[in-house]
Amino acid sequence: MPTTLFQDRDIAFLLYELLHAEELVERERFADYSREAFDAVIQTARQIAEEHFAPHRTRNDQEEPRVENGVVVMVPEVKTTVKAVAEAGFIGGTQDAGRGGMQLPHVIASASIGYMEAANVGTASYPMLTAGAANLIAAFGSEAQKEQWLPPMFNGRFTGTMALTEPDAGSALADLRTAAAPQVDGSFHISGTKIWISGGDHELSENIVHLVLARIAGAPEGVKGISLFIVPKKLVNGDGSVGAVNNVTLAGLIHKMGWRGTTSTLLNFGEHGPCVGYLVGEPHKGLAYMFHMMNEARIGVGRAAAAMSYAAYLHGVDYARTRRQGRIPGEKDPSKPPVAIIEHADIRRMLLHGKAAVEGSMALILQCSRLVDEQETAPDAAAREHATLLLEVLTPIAKTWPSIIGQEAISNAVQVMGGYGYAREYPVEQLYRDNRLNQIHEGTNGIQSLDLLGRKVTQDKGAAFKALVVEMQQAIADAQGTGVADLAAEFAKGVERMVATTKALVAAMPADPARALANANIYMDLVSRTVYGWLWLRQATIADRALATDAGMREEPFYRGKVHAARYQMLWELPKTESDAALLQRIDTVPFDMKDEWF
């Protein structure tokens, strides 16, 4: 059976031909690795994805977690799968070997986890949330906290959550009301309600470690008065064993359109007695800490979207190659056998859109992960700084665009499969439901767009944006003299549009920020399509050069596919930014001027 997770050849292309991941082994942190070792890690992840995750994707959706006698019950495969992930070391994948981590580069860990998310995101979220919570402790916790919490989180004894959102403060973290009362022993008593807490309750682990945002009594209003706490479901004894319950109460499970395998919970803290929390780092710095972690979490959401849409795309291709139906235009003889539907031009259009979308999304995600590696381990400071700038501007895009263009790709896979695509007997409809969440959680796409235009593009006199433009110009220069110079010329027009549009918006910002930011979502669309153009131009240039070699010609269909998908991106997707640019450059106010009472 062909894989319907990722195309392995593409992942290898992205890692090594596009992003030169093998160069990382020259760095001290990764000195124990080799390309072969990276590949072995990815193969392990793929095997876990296929043997553990994929087989219960449907079951985990159809028999979603439920509460019985106050206990969350779910299909048993989830527990064995989380155990397999922990045993293989992926929860602490990028963490220090000295703390029980694998000390992997982010780019290798990210590709690995992507296989699991492509196979079954509902189950993958438990280890991934645990990793996110652990990373936060690793970055900002005290030495004692690291020693206490990290080992059981890495080995799967404990799982973790991120508990930010409250019923009356969804995207508006400034309005958080959960309270933390200082105790004489230095701990705090937490009281409040959190909603949409993924993995907030279950029996998968001995304990659940909630990372909770709350206000210490007397803290300032708004975002400057929020602190971060470790709040375990059960208290932990001195010997590391799990003790008494800590008054974190499951007030209800939320039932969702998709992503059903992951419990989504309403949690009450301290409702029936003291709920102990341990401050992480300094008071009132919780949001800054959370945002540090959130950047990785945002790339993680983008990766989930890329992975799910990639899987759906491959299902669509597989179906289109085997399903025979109809005849091509001009063939009127009904006695001729029907053709495979991939012969129909509109089917190819939908799948080519999918290829450009999902391979483009994985390119973006792995690019971002590679930049995290640069940021953390590049030998010289200028390279680290450049990587940091690029990450600033790329992260909101990585969160947003894979969820948007990926949903289009999944919708196209549904459409390619027709009625079968809409039926629950086939996997793509679940992917359509699952991926829709990625536009919402971890900061809605609207929030990301405001972050991009209102913060990332303008801060430091536009340094991050300029770093991106430099990269784009480099890609254009690099394509000169190749067989894809025409695509570089198309892309250059797109870059010009992006730059001119950005200038116009930045110029309009001081006089009326609300008006200049009103169409941030359209700006996100424009920049995202341009960023995908950048990633595709680079892929096409590499592929074109490969096709000039004997080795490359032995893989001619693969490289031709890369060039052709780049052509699609440049001639079909990038021109959509023309009308966006016109609208943005005139600082259009049509939605801005709309009045409540006119709806």
- Name the phi and psi angles at 232, rounded to 5: -80, 150
Question: Is residue 496 part of the contact set for a copy of itself (CB under 8 A)?
Answer: no
Q: What span, in angstroms and rounded, lies between the C-alpha atoms of 132 and 198?
A: 12
Q: Which of 234, 284, 348, 545 binds a copy of itself (CB under 8 A)?
A: 348
Q: What span, in angstroms and rounded, lies between the C-alpha atoms of 60 and 515?
A: 45
Task: Report 21-80 residues binding a copy of itself (CB under 8 A).
Answer: none
Question: Is residue 285 part of the contact set for a copy of itself (CB under 8 A)?
Answer: no
- CB nearer a copy of itself, residue 317 or residue 468: 317
- Name the phi and psi angles at 476, rounded to 5: -65, -45
- CB nearer a copy of itself, residue 167 or residue 273: 167
Amino acid at 558: F
Q: Which of 31, 40, 172, 489 binds a copy of itself (CB under 8 A)?
A: 172
- CB nearer a copy of itself, residue 371 or residue 570: 570
Short-list 140, 134, 52, 132, CA closest to 100: 134
Please count the residues of the chain.
599
Q: Which of 94, 123, 165, 178 binds a copy of itself (CB under 8 A)?
A: 165
Q: How far is the CB of 316 from a copy of itself (least distance, A)?
A: 9
**Per-residue x/- marks for a copy of itself, 187-206, CB under 8 A?**
--------xx----------
Cα-to-chain-centroid distance, residue 41? 20
Q: What is the 3-state secondary structure (H, E, C) of 74-135?
A: CCCHHHHHHHHHHHCCCCCCCCCHHHCCCCCCHHHHHHHHHHHHHHCHHHHHHHHHHHHHHH
Task: Report 225-284 residues binding a copy of itself (CB under 8 A).
Answer: 254-258, 264
Q: What span, in angstroms and rounded, lies between the C-alpha atoms of 47 and 42?
A: 9
Q: Is 281 left (phi over 0), alpha (psi -120 to 50) or beta?
A: left
Q: Which of 442, 471, 490, 573 is catalytic?
A: 442
Q: Which of 25, 179, 181, 223 binds a copy of itself (CB under 8 A)?
A: 223
Q: What is the DSSP string of 516-559?
A: HHTTHHHHHHHHHHHHHHHHHHHHHHHHHHHTTSHHHHTTHHHH
Task: Report 558-597 residues binding a copy of itself (CB under 8 A).
Answer: 558, 560-561, 564, 567-568, 571-572, 575-576, 578-579, 582-583, 588, 590-597
Q: What span, in angstroms and rounded, lies between the C-alpha atoms of 29 and 97?
A: 10
- CB nearer a copy of itself, residue 285 or residue 441: 441
Q: Which of 285, 441, 493, 545 binds a copy of itself (CB under 8 A)?
A: 441
* Segment contacting a copy of itself by CB under 8 A, of 287-295, 345-353, 385-393, 500-508: 345-353
Hey, how many other C-beta atoms are within 10 angstroms of the C-beta on 224? 12
Classify residue 305 as exposed, middle or buried by CB count within 10 Å of its CB (0-12, 13-18, 19+).
Answer: buried
Residues binding a copy of itself: number (CB under 8 A): 103
Q: Which of 76, 97, 422, 473 binds a copy of itself (CB under 8 A)?
A: 422
Q: How far is the CB of 474 from a copy of itself (least distance, A)?
A: 26
- CB nearer a copy of itself, residue 382 or residue 514: 514
Task: Report 442-481 residues binding a copy of itself (CB under 8 A).
Answer: 444-446, 449-450, 454
Q: What span, in angstroms and rounded, lies between the C-alpha atoms of 568 and 534?
A: 13
**Per-residue x/- marks for a copy of itself, 349-378, CB under 8 A?**
x-xxx-x-----------------------
Kindly state the tokens that stand for 302: 């983008």
Q: Which of 70, 186, 238, 330 binds a copy of itself (CB under 8 A)?
A: 330
> In sequence order, which residues have a C-beta less than 8 Å from that of residue 575 and are 6 or more positions away?
none
Q: Which of 23, 147, 175, 486 binds a copy of itself (CB under 8 A)?
A: 175
Kindly state the tokens that stand for 437: 């969440």
Q: Which of 199, 281, 421, 494 binds a copy of itself (CB under 8 A)?
A: 421
Query: Does the annotation mark 282 as catalytic?
Result: no
Question: Is residue 217 part of the contact set for a copy of itself (CB under 8 A)?
Answer: no
Question: Is residue 215 part of the contact set for a copy of itself (CB under 8 A)?
Answer: no
Cα–Cα distances in angstroms (integers) from residue 42 to residues 82, 147, 195, 414, in the given order: 17, 28, 34, 29
Question: Is residue 322 part of the contact set for a copy of itself (CB under 8 A)?
Answer: no
Question: Is residue 15 part of the contact set for a copy of itself (CB under 8 A)?
Answer: no
Question: Pairing between strand 248-253 and 242-245?
Answer: unpaired
Q: How far is the CB of 327 from a copy of itself (least distance, A)?
A: 8
Question: Is residue 529 part of the contact set for a copy of itself (CB under 8 A)?
Answer: no
Q: Which of 73, 174, 235, 548 binds a copy of itself (CB under 8 A)?
A: 174
Question: Is residue 310 part of the contact set for a copy of itself (CB under 8 A)?
Answer: no
Q: How far is the CB of 333 from a copy of itself (least distance, A)?
A: 8
Q: Which of 334, 380, 381, 510 binds a copy of itself (CB under 8 A)?
A: 334
Question: Is residue 2 part of the contact set for a copy of itself (CB under 8 A)?
Answer: no
Q: Which of 439, 502, 530, 541 binds a copy of itself (CB under 8 A)?
A: 439
Cα–Cα distances in angstroms (integers) from residue 246 to residues 181, 184, 209, in the given order: 15, 18, 11
> Which 8-state DSSP code applies to residue 18?
I
**Annotated active-site positions, please?**
442
